[in-house]
Amino acid sequence: MSDIASLQTGARLRQGSNIGQPMTRRDGVLKVTGRATYAADNNPEGLLHAVVAAATIARGRVSRLDVAAAKAHPGVVAVITPENRPQLAADPDDKPNPLAFRLDLLQSDAVRYAGQPVAVVIATSLEAASEGAALLAPQYEVEAPRVDLGGESFEAKIVGPGFPGRAESGDFDAEYAACDQTLEATYETPAQYHNAMEPHAIVARWDGDRIEIDTPTQAPAIALGTVARFFGIAPENILIRSPFLGGGFGSKGMLAGPQVLGVMAAKMVGAPVKLVLSRPQMYGPVGHRAQTRQTLRLGMAADGRMTAIAHHTLAATSRFDDFVEPASNASHALYAAKAIRATHDATRIDVGTPRFMRAPGEAPGSAALECAIDEAAFAAGIDPLDFRLRNYAEVEPMHGKPFSSKALRECYLQGAERFGWAGRPLEPQKLRDEKGRLVGRGVGTAQFPAIMFEGKARAVIRADGGGLAETSAEDMGQGAWTALHQIAADSLGLAIDAVEFRAGSSDLPDAGIAGGSGHTATAGTALYRAGEDAIARLTALAVGDRRSPLFGAGNVGVVARDGRLSRQDDESRGESYAAILARAGLSEIEGSGRGVADPATEEAYAKYAHGAVFAEVAVDPDLCQIRVTRLTGAFAAGRIINPRLVESQYYGGMVWGLSFALHEEAVHDRRSGRIMNANLAEYHVPVNADVPSLEAILVEEDDPHVNPLGVKGVGEIGITGTVGAIANAVFHATGIRVRRFPILPADLL
Ligand code: MOS
pLDDT in tens, 535-544: 999 999 999 9
Cα(713) to centroid of ligand 1, in Å?
A: 11
> Rounded CA gap, 624 and 628, in Å?
13
- Quick one: pLDDT at residue 4? 40
- Quick one: pLDDT at residue 163? 76
ipTM of the complex as predicted: 0.97
pLDDT tens digit string along 449-479? 999 999 999 999 999 999 999 999 999 999 9
Query: How many Cβ atoms sit within 10 Å of the Cβ of residue 726?
Result: 30
Query: Which residues, at least 6 apart from 439, have a Cβ–Cβ distance to it below 8 Å?
Result: 431, 432, 433, 616, 617, 618, 619, 629, 733
> Rounded CA gap, 317 and 159, in Å?
10
- Quick one: pLDDT at residue 333? 96
DSSP code of residue 511: -
Active site residue 716: yes
What Å distances lie between residue 704 and 597, 607, 617, CA to CA?
Answer: 13, 11, 38
Task: Look at residue 14 and tell me whether its pLDDT is greater than 90.
Answer: no
Active-site pick, 175, 474, 695, 716: 716
Q: How confident is the model at residue 161 (pLDDT cuts 50, 70, 90)?
A: low
- Is residue 348 within 8 Å of residue 673, measured between CB atoms? no
Q: What are phi and psi of 567, to 5 degrees?
A: -70, 140
Mean pLDDT, residues 483-505: 97
Cα(684) to centroid of ligand 1, in Å?
A: 21
Ligand 1 proximity of 529 Cβ (cutoff 6 Å): no
Task: Look at residue 284 and tell me whether its pLDDT is greater than 70.
Answer: yes
Ligand 1 proximity of 253 Cβ (cutoff 6 Å): yes
Query: How many Cβ atoms sit within 10 Å of the Cβ of residue 170?
Result: 17
> Rounded CA gap, 276 and 502, in Å?
26
Q: Which atom of ligand 1 is nearest to the CA of 218?
A: 4
> Rounded CA gap, 696 and 579, in Å?
46
Q: At what angle do helices 362-380 and 643-662 cross, to 10 degrees?
A: 70
- Helix, strand, or coil (residue 297): strand
- Quick one: pLDDT at residue 6? 40
Cα(513) to centroid of ligand 1, in Å?
A: 9
Ligand 1 proximity of 251 Cβ (cutoff 6 Å): no
Query: Which residues, at least 6 apart from 68, have a Cβ–Cβ distance to it below 8 Å?
Result: none
Cα(80) to centroid of ligand 1, in Å?
A: 32
- Quick one: pLDDT at residue 693? 86
- Helix, strand, or coil (residue 454): coil
Cα(516) to centroid of ligand 1, in Å?
A: 5
Instruction: Encode 268-305: b = buried (16+ Cβ within 10 Å), e = exposed.
Output: bbebbbbbbbeebbbbbbbbbbbbbbbbbbbbbeeebb
> Rounded CA gap, 289 and 244, in Å?
23
Task: Look at residue 60 and tell me whether its pLDDT is greater than 70.
Answer: yes
Ligand 1 proximity of 358 Cβ (cutoff 6 Å): yes
> Rounded CA gap, 116 and 230, in Å?
19
> Rounded CA gap, 169 and 708, in Å?
31
- Helix, strand, or coil (residue 65): coil
- Quick one: pLDDT at residue 3? 42
Q: Alpha helices of 203-342 — where are they, by DSSP H?
A: 220-231, 257-269
The full DSSP string for 125-150 is: SHHHHHHHHHHT--EEEE-----STT
| Nearest alpha carbon to residue 573 among 594, 548, 598 | 548
Task: State pTM to two decimals.
Answer: 0.96
Q: How confident is the model at residue 7 (pLDDT cuts 50, 70, 90)?
A: very low
Among protein residues, the one whose CA lies closest to atom 4 of ligand 1:
250
Cα(265) to centroid of ligand 1, in Å?
A: 28
- Quick one: pLDDT at residue 1? 38
Maximum alpha-carbon separation in the chain = 85
Ligand 1 pocket test: which of 101, 249, 355, 660 has the largest number of ligand atoms within 8 Å of its C-beta?
Answer: 249
Ligand 1 proximity of 217 Cβ (cutoff 6 Å): no
Q: Which atom of ligand 1 is nearest to the CA of 253?
A: 4
Ligand 1 pocket test: which of 193, 355, 356, 714 has the largest number of ligand atoms within 8 Å of its C-beta?
Answer: 356
Range 454-596 has CATH code 3.30.365.10:
yes
> Beta strands 201-207 and 306-318: pairing type?
unpaired
Ligand 1 proximity of 360 Cβ (cutoff 6 Å): yes
User: CA 745, 746, 747 angle in degrees (round to 5)?
Assistant: 90
| Nearest alpha carbon to residue 636 among 343, 410, 329 | 410
Share of the chain above pLDDT 90, in %: 94
DSSP code of residue 689: G
> Rounded CA gap, 334 and 338, in Å?
13
Mean pLDDT, residues 430-442: 98
Query: Which residues, at least 6 apart from 34, have a Cβ–Cβ distance to it below 8 Å?
Result: none
Query: How many Cβ atoms sit within 10 Å of the Cβ of residue 12?
Result: 17
- Quick one: pLDDT at residue 162? 67
DSSP code of residue 443: E
Report the Cα 687 to chain-centroid distance in Å.
Answer: 21
Q: How confident is the model at residue 47 (pLDDT cuts 50, 70, 90)?
A: very high
Q: Which atom of ligand 1 is nearest to the CA of 251?
A: 4
Task: Look at residue 599 and tell me whether its pLDDT is greater than 50.
Answer: yes
Q: Which atom of ligand 1 is nearest to the CA of 252?
A: 4
Cross-strand bridge partners of residue 668: 675
The CATH number fitting domain 39-143+194-282, selected from 3.30.365.10, 1.10.3720.10, 3.30.460.20, 3.40.50.720: 3.30.365.10
Ligand 1 proximity of 18 Cβ (cutoff 6 Å): no
689 burial level (CB within 10 Å; 0-12, 13-18, 19+): exposed
Fold held by 359-451+603-748: Aldehyde Oxidoreductase; domain 4 (3.30.365)
- Is residue 657 within 8 Å of residue 613, measured between CB atoms? yes
> Rounded CA gap, 301 and 306, in Å?
6
Q: How confident is the model at residue 34 (pLDDT cuts 50, 70, 90)?
A: very high
Task: Look at residue 715 and tell me whether its pLDDT is greater than 50.
Answer: yes
Task: Look at residue 107 and tell me whether its pLDDT is greater than 60.
Answer: yes
pLDDT tens digit string along 651-695? 999 999 999 999 999 999 999 999 999 999 999 999 999 998 899
Cα(304) to centroid of ligand 1, in Å?
A: 35
Ligand 1 proximity of 516 Cβ (cutoff 6 Å): yes
358 burial level (CB within 10 Å; 0-12, 13-18, 19+): buried
- Quick one: pLDDT at residue 10? 40
Ligand 1 proximity of 250 Cβ (cutoff 6 Å): yes
Cα(319) to centroid of ligand 1, in Å?
A: 23
Instruction: Encode 75-105: b = buried (16+ Cβ within 10 Å), e = exposed.
Output: bbbbbbbbeebeebebebeeeeeebbbbbbb
> Rounded CA gap, 590 and 156, in Å?
47
Ligand 1 proximity of 326 Cβ (cutoff 6 Å): no
User: CA 353, 357, 360 angle in degrees (round to 5)?
Assistant: 100
Query: Which residues, at least 6 apart from 450, have a Cβ–Cβ distance to it below 8 Å?
Result: 404, 517, 518, 521, 607, 608, 609, 637, 638, 706, 712, 713
Q: Which atom of ligand 1 is nearest to the CA of 359?
A: 2
Ligand 1 proximity of 518 Cβ (cutoff 6 Å): no
Cα(252) to centroid of ligand 1, in Å?
A: 9
> Rounded CA gap, 190 and 651, in Å?
23
> Rounded CA gap, 490 and 3, in Å?
10
- Quick one: pLDDT at residue 474? 96
- Quick one: pLDDT at residue 603? 94
Task: Look at residue 368 and tell me whether its pLDDT is greater than 50.
Answer: yes
Query: Which residues make up the CATH 3.30.365.10 domain(s) of the chain?
Result: 39-143+194-282, 359-451+603-748, 454-596
For 250, left (φ over 0), alpha (ψ -120 to 50), or beta? left
> Rounded CA gap, 349 and 668, in Å?
12
Q: Which atom of ligand 1 is nearest to the CA of 356?
A: 2
Q: How confident is the model at residue 556 (pLDDT cuts 50, 70, 90)?
A: low
Mean pLDDT of the chain: 95
- Quick one: pLDDT at residue 5? 37
Ligand 1 pocket test: which of 358, 451, 719 has the largest number of ligand atoms within 8 Å of its C-beta?
Answer: 358
